[in-house]
Amino acid sequence: MGETVVGSTSSASNVHETTNDNTNPYRTMVMDAMRMNQGNVSQCPIIEEEPNADATRFFDLLKDSDEPLWDGCTNHSKLSAVAQVFTIKSDHGLSEVGYDKIIEWARSILHERNMLKDNFYAAKSMMKPLDLGYQKIDMCPNFYMLYYLENAEMTECMTCGPLQT
């Protein structure tokens, strides 16, 4: 078995099967986001105390990366489903209302005990510890240039000139 890639080239939209070495790309994403690797984890001393808030969020995300979307689901975890819908939202410029409508529809066709987050706010809260920030970059309405780096302060396109109103 291996990884089966479906659709977008974005890594969050890959549908995965469990490989022989039990690699879970969403678990790996959590470990990378929290700057943990197996070497660091195995060297941590075992201390009997309650985890702090950051550790709690980390362990919650690890749990979400392993917990199936519903009992018996083998190809999606809670985290993979949310990450993939976030990717669709980003790739296609969906509004939060659009995201919520997709989730509402998906929940209506999924198993009734599915673990998919109810709306954008709940999904965003789940993903927040990963600190997957973004930078909004303006662009020419005719797609000729990005207002980025040395062009960030420009107010008109170098190709189109000022917009006609």
Please write the tens of the pLDDT for every residue from 53-63.
777 888 888 88
Q: Are residues 124 and 74 in the same domain?
A: yes
- Whole domain around residue 118: which residue ranges? 11-130
- Mean pLDDT value across residues 136-144: 85
The pLDDT of residue 97 is 93
Q: How far is CA 50 from CA 30, 53, 106, 158, in A?
A: 21, 9, 37, 57
Return d(Cα 112, Cα 67) in angstroms, integer: 16
Q: Are residues 165 and 96 in the same domain?
A: no
Among 20-24, 69-73, 120-124, 148-152, the least confident range: 20-24
Q: Which of 54, 70, 3, 63 is nearest to 27 (CA)?
A: 63
Enumerate the β-bridge partners of residue 68: 77
Q: Are residues 63 and 18 in the same domain?
A: yes
Q: For residue 147, what is the enclosing H or E element? A: strand 146-147
Does pLDDT of 96 surpass 70? yes
The pLDDT of residue 133 is 63
Classified as helix, coil or strand, 68 is strand
